[in-house]
Structure formats: C-alpha cells, structure tokens
A and B are shown apart, each in its own frame.
Chain A
Amino acid sequence: MNGVLAILEYRGGWNRMSWEALAAGQALAAQLNQPLMAAVAGANLDEAMADLAAKPLARAFAVRHPLLGEYTADGFTAAFEQLIRALDPALALFPHTYQVRDFAPCLAMRFGQTLIADAIAIGVDSGQPVFVRQLLQGKLNADYRHAGAGPCFVSIQAGAFRADALAGEPSGARCAVEEFAPRIEASQIRSQPGERFRESAQTVDLSAASLIVAVGRGIKEQANLPVVEELARALGAELAASRPICDNGWLPMEGQVGSSGQTVSPKVYIAVGISGAIQHLVGMKGSKAIIAINKDESAPIFEVADYGIVGDLFEVAPALTAAVRKVKGG
C-alpha cells in the first residue's frame, strides 16, 4: 500500500470541495512522504483532466465509462473499487459532499473498512495519521485512527482545508493523465436517476445582504418569530434561519442558511438561538463579523462568533431591538 488517492467530484464543472480535499491530500502526502494521486469518474472528462494535469500530482486518473455519465451509487462504487484495487493506495480521500455520503460508505465496506467521515483536521503522530472529527453537533472533538488492515478511507468537511493552499507545481511541469476503464455492466446499476432540479427560484438572495439576522431552534415556536422580525426590521437586516425553522414551515425554505440552503457572507451576521451545527456553520462562517445570542454558553456558535451574549433570546433580542432604535434615532 502506498500513496494518497484523492477522489474528486466533477459534473460538467468541479464541486469546489474537491480542491479542499486535494489540499488535505497534499498536506498528508507531504507529511507521510508518499505520492499524491487524484481520480475523477464520468463519461466526459476531457476538461476535468486538463485541469488535473496542472495540479501538483504524481498521477491523475480519468475513470471513464459511458455508464458513469450520471452519478449512481452502484456505478461509482464499482468503478472506484476497481481503481483502488489496481492502485492499492494507503489512503483514499474524498470531499464530504452529498454524493460522497451516498457511495463512499459502501466503497469502504467493500475493503472491509469504515469511512472516517467528515474530518475537520489531520495530524500525524508517530508516522500515523490522526483524524479529527466533531461529535455531538460540534460540541466535542474526537481523534480517530485507522485501525484496519486495508486502505484508510476519509472524507473531508467543507471548509476544513483551504483550496487556495493547494500548492502548484513550481516547475510548471504537468502530471501524466492516465485512463482507467472500469468494467461495469448496465445490469449492475439498480437505481435510475432523474434530472437534477431546484424547487423554486430563489426569491430572497441572501448572498447580497450586508446585514443578516438568523433565527434557530431557540425561538421555540412560530408565534415567537416577531421577536426576531422586529430586530431585523430595526437593523434593516434580512431575516434568515437555520434548517429546523424552515423544516417546520415557519419561514420559507429560501431563507435557509447552511449546507442545504444558501451560503452567505454579510458584514454582520447575528445568530439568534442558533446552536451552530456544522451544517449551519458552513453556510455563514465566511461572514465578516458574527454575533451570537444563545442561552447555552457551550453552543458551538460561540466558536465562530466575534461577539456573544449568553442569555435568554426572549430578553436579549427585544432589548437589542430597543437599543438599536435608540442608537439609530440618536
């Protein structure tokens, strides 16, 4: 077993998390003194391979087959299983995308391994990688080690590594792109995927907002929403929400910030009653300034906040509304 293999995601365009996973792979390969490889699966990969050829890789693989044109768990698992058996890498690294969550657990299982999913950092201790994961919605961190005999499978959380940290080939040399033709039969693929679609045109474009007030579970019930609506009005801010609020139908789905909703980077993001589950944080941690109001001082939202008030939102939010009105009026 040798080498770090990054399995990237391309569908007519790159999933940007691919580069973050590749940056993680580059750091790990350097620390372990092993070659870095990358692979991508699909039917039309010419542009993808042109991009990969310019990356600092020892080898790049186009896993090409007509049956890989549209993603299926069966097709991708079979294709990457064959590639990994052929290459025998020490590690297989993935971006923790929705697609990876659908097939990588199966792929690891085929090698008798458990995917170390959603890692946020990688260290090396006595020559062995140590993977940091979050537990209990980010309240705890945990160190994991691979203990199995086969390759180690790891997926990397969105935003955990910086894509721009990916060092280029200093010499400008291009890596060799290799073709890998997996054997896949149409009969192996049990699911039929349909077209991808969006539910509704996004009517609220939160990505352009400079001030956002976002509300979470702490609001308890729909009848309490005026507390944050008034705060947003006083500030002249857009109102957004974490997933549970939109799931309950209290605010429209378009107002959802997080991995399944919008990604925002306002000047100021005020999180009210939001604990800060990672699915939410990935959508807003790029904000210039973050203010958190939460009754639980150990809530992960305080990990990313610049300013925080630990207190009951039903007391703090109305007080802030009044204070903002006063400052604005004065």
Chain B
Amino acid sequence: MKIIVAVKQVPSRDSAIRLDAAGKWLEERDLTFEINEPDAYALEEALLLKQKHGGEVIVLCAGPERAGQTIRETLAKGADRAIHILCDDLVRLDTLALARRLAAAAAAENADLILTGLQSDDLGLGLTGVVMAEILGMPHAAIVMQVEILDSSVRVKRELEDGWFQWVQMPMPALLTIQSGISPLRYATLMGIKKAKTKEVRRIAPEQLSPPEPPTIALQRVYLPPRKKKTQIITGAPAEAAAKLADVLKFEMRVL
C-alpha cells in the first residue's frame, strides 16, 4: 500500500508574533517553525497503516528551504521518502494554487491513500486536502478519527458535531483529512534520525507542477484582534493575585 502524507510547516504555537512592516504577514525572523499538528497525526496514521498492511509512506511538503527540517523529522519518524516542492510564495498563494501543486506532485505517485491534517494551524482554512481530492478526482472524507482498510476500499470514522460520529466507506484511491488526537504521536528514535539522513528527498520547482494563475482570494492585511471585552488583569505575586481573585469569586460572582 502506498500512502502519501501532505504536511505543512507552520509557526510553532509559542512563537512570538510580530507583524511585518507591510501588515500582510508575520515577521518571519521572530518565528520558530514546526510541523502542523494535525499533519503530525496524519503522518502517525500513515505509519500505523504501513505497519499493519506494509507498503510505503511518502511525505509531500510545499515550502521554503526551512521546511526541509520538518521533512527530515517526518523521515526520522519512519516515512520512507519525501517530495519537497521548494517554494517561498505560500503566503501569497491561494488554496487552489497550492492544492494544484500538491495534487500534480501526488498524481505522479499513484498512491492508494492520501492523508493530510484537517486544517493548518496558521491559516486554518481547512481546504487543501478536500480540494486536492476534487482535483485528483478521488473520493474523500474530512475530519477522520479512525481508518480501516478493506481490500480495495477504506472505511473511516468521521467526526461530526456535538460528540456524534459516522462510519463512511469509499473505494481507494481516496483522500482523508485527519483530526488531531487520532492516536498518540511517536517520537523519532536515534536510529530513525540517523536513517533519515540517507533517505531520498526529491526537490521539485513549482513551475514544473502547475502554471501560475491569478489568485481567487486575497489576504489584504493582518492585525491583532480588537478586544471586544474589557479583561481585568489581576496583577501581583501568585498568592496576592489569587487572594484578589478569590474575593471576586465571593463578593462579585457570589459563587463561594
């Protein structure tokens, strides 16, 4: 079984956020980067499926030079090889153009399954996987919590709202977007890290994949969210702040 996992490198959760001078994106020099968390779960699911059914796990990533670090980490965890679409225009690109690039690179591999996280932690649109499926003419399921392989089809547990679920079956090849928390994440072993250095990372220029097209949506500016609510910040040393808060709970909120 051949599985492609599409991953993205995103600013890490505890990165310091500073806007760039144009107000269009972040000052990247201040950021540290990591694998998009839902994509890490997609990779985990792919590695578990490989352990069970055999085959190959190929990581697909579009991003600048620095994304190479994230790619190496996926190889250290057990992915067999990787395709790096080397591009530094992700911020200006709309989902359609990105999905076209990823789909073109994926199409050449004729994989049985394509997995990716349900959304990215930075843009949070939750589109790329589903749009890739549409471009590739594959059935898909979004927000998947469990995956079972049955001969030539796949059965998945989709998460719905308010604690509801549903099993859905579809023929392969198929594309699944994976929800965080589907199974515990593994760590790279020392041996894995060593092996990763010798694994293939094929680099492709985006021009080889899809012609540039005018964007369909435009990010005009980014800014800190205006405060809707006046939050009263209680200051002081922990014991002092806690005592003030306990008074609020007793006298203002009347719950003690």
B-binding residues in A (CB < 8 A):
15, 73-74, 97-99, 101-103, 105-106, 109-110, 112-118, 130, 133-148, 150, 190-199, 202, 210-211, 235, 243-244, 246-248, 253, 259-263, 267-268, 275, 289, 291-292, 296-298, 300, 302-312, 315-316, 319-320, 322-324, 326-328
- Chain B residues whose C-beta falls within 8 Å of the C-beta of A148 in the assembled complex: 215-217
Q: How far does the alpha carbon of A253 sit from the alpha carbon of B165 in the complex, in Å? A: 13
Find chain B residues with CB under 8 A from A15 CB. 161
Q: Which of A113, A147, A193, A327 contacts B246 (CB 8 A)?
A: A327
Q: What is the CA–CA distance of A289 and B252 in the complex, to the nearest angstrom? A: 10
Separation of A195 and B248 alpha carbons in the complex (Å): 48
Return chain A residues, CB-CB under 8 Å to B221. Answer: 142-143
CB-nearest residue of chain A relative to B230? A306
* Contact between chains at B243 and A289 (CB < 8 Å): no
Identify the stretch in B45-53, B125-133, B186-194, B197-205 within 8 Å (CB) of chain A at 4 or more residues. Answer: B125-133
Q: Which residues of A contact B17 (CB under 8 A)?
A: 136, 139-140, 298
Alpha-carbon separation in the docked complex, A110 to B96 (Å): 11
Contact residues on B (Cβ < 8 Å of other chain), bracket: 35 or more
Question: CB-CB contacts of B143-185 with A at 8 A, as 1s and 0s?
Answer: 1000000000000001111111111111100000000110010
Q: Are B96 and A101 in contact (CB under 8 A)?
A: no
C-alpha gap A324/B246 in the complex (Å): 5
Partner among A142, A260, A289 whose Cβ is within 8 Å of the Cβ of B159:
A260
- Selected from A105, A194, A304, A306, the residue in CB contact (under 8 A) with B134 is A105
Give chain A residues whose Cβ lies under 8 Å from the Cβ of B228: 303-304
Contacts of B158 in A (CB 8 A): 98, 102
Q: How far is it, in angstroms, between the C-alpha of A143 and the C-alpha of B25 when the chains are bound? A: 11
Cross-chain contact A327 with B250 (CB below 8 angstroms): yes
Closest-CB distance, B43 to chain A (whole angstroms): 16
**Which residues in A have their C-beta under 8 angstroms from that of B118?**
101
Q: In the complex the two chains form, is A328's CB within 8 Å of B238's CB? A: no
Name the B residues within 8 Å of A211 (CB-CB).
255
Is B30's CB within 8 Å of the partner chain A?
no
Given A138-B225, A309-B241, A319-B242, A115-B127 contact (CB < 8 Å): yes
Quote the shortest CB–CB distance from A197 to chain B (angstroms): 6
Contact of B217 among A144, A199, A262 (CB under 8 A): A144
How many angstroms between the C-alpha atoms of A114 and B125 in the bound complex? 10
Residue of B nearest to A275 (CB): B13
A191 with B164: CB separation less than 8 A: no
Residues of chain B within 8 A of A196, CB atoms compared = 160, 164-166
* Bound Cα distance A89, B128 (Å): 24
Pick from A275, A302, A311: contact of B238, CB below 8 A: A311
Report if A191-B169 is in contact (Cβ < 8 Å); known contacts: A73-B140, A114-B94.
yes
Q: Are A143 and B220 in contact (CB under 8 A)?
A: yes
Q: Is the CB of B229 within 8 A of A143?
A: no
B236, chain A: closest CB distance, angstroms: 9
Q: Are B220 and A145 in contact (CB under 8 A)?
A: yes
* Docked CA distance A53–B121 (Å): 40
Is B140 a contact partner of A136 (Cβ separation < 8 A)? no
Q: Are B13 and A305 in contact (CB under 8 A)?
A: no
Chain B nearest Cβ from A20, distance in angstroms: 14
Chain A residues near B253 (CB, 8 Å)? Answer: 267-268, 289
Residue pair B141, A323 in contact (C-beta under 8 Å): no
- A124 CB, nearest partner CB in chain B, Å: 14
